[in-house]
Amino acid sequence: MFEVETFSYLKQIYPFEWVMLTIYMLVLLGISFFIQVSNIKKQPVYRYYLGGVAMKAFSAVVFCLIYIYYYNGGDTVCYYETSRALVNLGMKDPASFWKVMTTAPSVENYFLFDDKTGFPWAFMYYDTQTFFVAKLIAPILFVAFRSYLVSGVVLSWLSFFGIWRFFLMLCRHYPAIEKRLALGVIFVPSVLFWGSGILKDTITFSAVCWFIVGIEGFFILKKSRLKNAAIFIVASYVLISIKAYIMISLLPGVFLWLLYSRFSRFKSYFLRYMSVPFIVIFSLAAGYGLLSVLGDSLGKFSVAHMLETASITQRDLKQDYYHGSSFDIGEFDPTISGVISKAPAAMAVGLFRPFIWEAHNVVMLVSGLENLVYLSLTLMLFARFIMQPKKFFRTFFNDPLLLFMFTYTLLFSVLVGLSTSNFGALVRFKIPFLPAFICFLLILNYKLARKRSGAPAGDYSPLVNPGTIRYDEKTGIITKAGR
């Protein structure tokens, strides 16, 4: 099984892969069942764990089948074939494999491959960010015996750990709505589909979740600081290496979250609200400064080149070779003023398109139906703002985590809307921020509804409803009264 194969391009799922899939699924589901049973008594929220893993694995299988038999290939297959060439090289010549894995792509390294190992796709090999993904996937292919189907399932399972940790974090802050949060983080159809295959988005979404969890653990909870520092540093490295613009979207919101977490402790609402403009300005300046320092390491996503990159990418994605799935918000100058002029349209695209009437296939139809739900939740939130603006602002500004999700969502949606003119790419690019957007809508709508009914909505605290929820600060365990 581990001999160097005669290279051939992937055109079908082979029978041995289905046998292996059955074995791997039994193992992965068995491990997940053990994790659920071991934790569910102390943390009842673990009742969603096994179902979440099963849905991720199922989505990975569906994703593989659709890309092989419906799309007849695509980026995911190119990632697989590039990684498979790496694995073959590793089995033929470990020294050459190590050289390719640890040095920048070069023509010299490219010709370490041959007809037996297969050659990486050139457009992926010479793109540093893309080839980094192929390097990450290579060990998974080795464990999965170079099976495309099994590799997709294993990658989706590994990515679920970060998603689950993010979900647990939200449940700790908002335990009264854990079921809604499960729907907003774990069981979103488009996130399951596009976040479960061999793609950048599967890795970046999980990395975003790990980054948020690590930031909270290190700076806010101040627990297991060495472990949490390692988590957010590694997650940052992965994001910068694959899609640096995600870090550009995250950093201002992170600074706002961390700073406002301290200012929100002021008893005076006046002082709390007066601090907001200064915190926002400082957060944007700090984020810009850090990104400017990173500079060359961000490549085409550096502050100096990001807007030009977005403009070029947008023009490419609306070309005729994308078969009618393109849209156009109009070209823009790669300047701050040019971005501001297009920001509202870009934000609308990033948050709510494709609309249901713009769907031309089943995949787009699912995304269109989801966007209709998000638009409805947004309109509901807007109506509550109109009816009770004072309570809206008080509830919103009492919760630094909501401020973070709001800032991150808006910045990411603008960047995605500006740089994308193709619905197929759009629904994929939205994955890393979509759960944050959904949870923002669910949490704020819930809090305002509770306030209007006279019931306590809870502030930024694990104890949303002290009569029914218990939180152990030492262990981080959530329980309900009577359990």
pLDDT at 292: 63
CA distances from 246 to 96, 290, 333, 346 (A): 32, 14, 21, 16
Residue 280: which of 297, 260, 265 has the closest Cα? 260
- What's the rounded mean pLDDT across residues 134-152? 95
pLDDT at 417: 84
Choice among 134-148, 177-191, 209-223, 285-299 with the minimum mean pLDDT: 285-299
Tokens encoding 185:
């983080």
pLDDT score, position 475: 39
CA 22 – CA 435 distance, rounded (Å)? 30
**DSSP string across 136-170:** HHHHHHHHTTT-HHHHHHHHHHHHHHHHHHHHHHH
Question: Is the pLDDT reported for residue 387 higher than 50?
Answer: yes
**How many CA atoms lie within 13 Å of 215's alpha carbon, on the beta-carbon side?**
22
Listed residue (18, 146, 20) closest to 84, CA to CA:
146
Is residue 454's pLDDT more than 50? yes
Q: How far is CA 460 from CA 102, 259, 338, 398, 444, in A?
A: 44, 14, 37, 7, 12
Q: pLDDT digit string (tens) for 307-328?
A: 555 555 555 555 544 444 677 7
196, 315, 238, 292 alpha-carbon torsion, rounded to 10°:
-150
pLDDT at position 407 = 92
Q: Which of 99-103, 123-127, 154-158, 342-346 has the lowest mean pLDDT?
A: 342-346
State whether residue 353 is helix, strand or coil: coil
pLDDT tens track for 13-39 = 889 999 999 999 999 999 999 999 999
Using alpha carbons, select from 164, 183, 208 the residue that is nearest to residue 53: 164
Specify the pLDDT at position 294: 59
For residue range 258-296, list pLDDT tens digits in order: 888 877 666 666 666 666 667 767 766 766 666 666 555
Per-residue pLDDT averaged across 464-483, rounded?
42
What contacts 110, CB < 8 A, 6 or more positions away? 119, 120, 122, 125
Dihedral, 8, 10, 11, 15 alpha carbons, nearest 10: 100
Give the total residue count for the chain: 483
pLDDT value at residue 47: 96
Owner of token pair 């934000």? 347
Contact 354, 416 (CB under 8 A): no
**Phi, psi angles (nearest 5°) of residue 355:** -70, 160
Q: What is the mean pLDDT of residues 387-398?
A: 87
Mean pLDDT value of segment 201-207: 96
Q: What secondary structure letter does DSSP report for 465?
A: S
| Interval 110-136: pLDDT, tens | 999 998 899 999 999 999 989 999 999
For residue 476, the model assigns a pLDDT of 40
- For CA atoms 389, 343, 281, 458, the dihedral sign is positive
Q: Are 255 and 287 in contact (CB under 8 A)?
A: yes
pTM: 0.87
